[in-house]
Amino acid sequence: MIPFSAVGVCRASQAVDLFPNVCPDVVVREARIEDCWEVAETHCSTFFPKYSFPLDLMLRINRLVGMLSGFSVPNGCTRTCLVAVIGSSVDNLFFGNGEFIKVGGFEERFSFNKRYVAGILTVDTMADFLPRKGPLRQRRTGIAYISNVAVRERDRRKGIAKRLIAKAEDQARNWGCRVIALHCDVNNPGAVQLYKGQGFKCIKVPERVNWPRPKTSPNVQFNFMMKLITTLSAT
């Protein structure tokens, strides 16, 4: 699996499943190189839905280039992008005008418009949006951070966001993290309710303390939310 970078706008989901139904056809897995365009499309259609051509295409290309060029992470840190894949697309066939394209030595059908990815989520241990510790401002360890949660409009209310969050928690446990954190727009009650329902709690930021926050409009206010996650005991 290839971890993707979380570049550009970094924020918790603007579009979540407030009243989800069961969706048994969904498989949540780590993103692969062939998922790049689908991840970029899902991200931009969720966070920038009102942009039209050519700006919408430029945003998608920028996101795509950012993912392909941003594989490196600081020493001791890790990052991955999770995708929720629906239906028959889990067999990794990519149909594109009946033509095959060789990718990494494998013949796979590839399309920019397949739209088989229903949702995305990035989880990392880079601590970019967590307060540094000590006089040397060192990165915090043992805390995973969720960002860029997005579910396509047609696939909402199917429990996909919950499935992504649960998978992110599993990944954080595998990394040895004891806490998972995120930022959520205070004016998005659906997202706030979703995360609280998943066990996240709002953390009060001390007054006059300049904690790092996602790069977005200065008018957007965030709740900083955290959740303790149990570590799987050895058997």
Q: In the CATH hierarchy, which top-level class contains the domain 26-228?
A: alpha beta
d(CA 194, CA 116): 24
Residue 13 is predicted with a pLDDT of 43
Cα–Cα nearest to 190, from 58, 56, 16: 16
Beta bridge partners of 101: 108
Left if phi > 0, otherwise alpha if psi is -120 to 50, otherwise beta: which for 26? beta
- Does the pLDDT at position 232 exceed 60? no
End-to-end CA distance of the chain: 27
Where exactly are the structural domains of the chain? 26-228
Cα–Cα nearest to 3, from 35, 44, 43, 37: 35
Is the Cβ–Cβ distance between 231 and 207 less than 8 Å? no
The residues that are catalytic are: 195
At 126-167, the pLDDT tens digits run 999 998 888 888 889 999 999 999 999 889 889 999 999 999
pTM of the model: 0.76
At 17-46, the pLDDT tens digits run 444 455 568 899 999 888 888 888 888 878
Which of residues 173 and 91 earns the better pLDDT score? 173
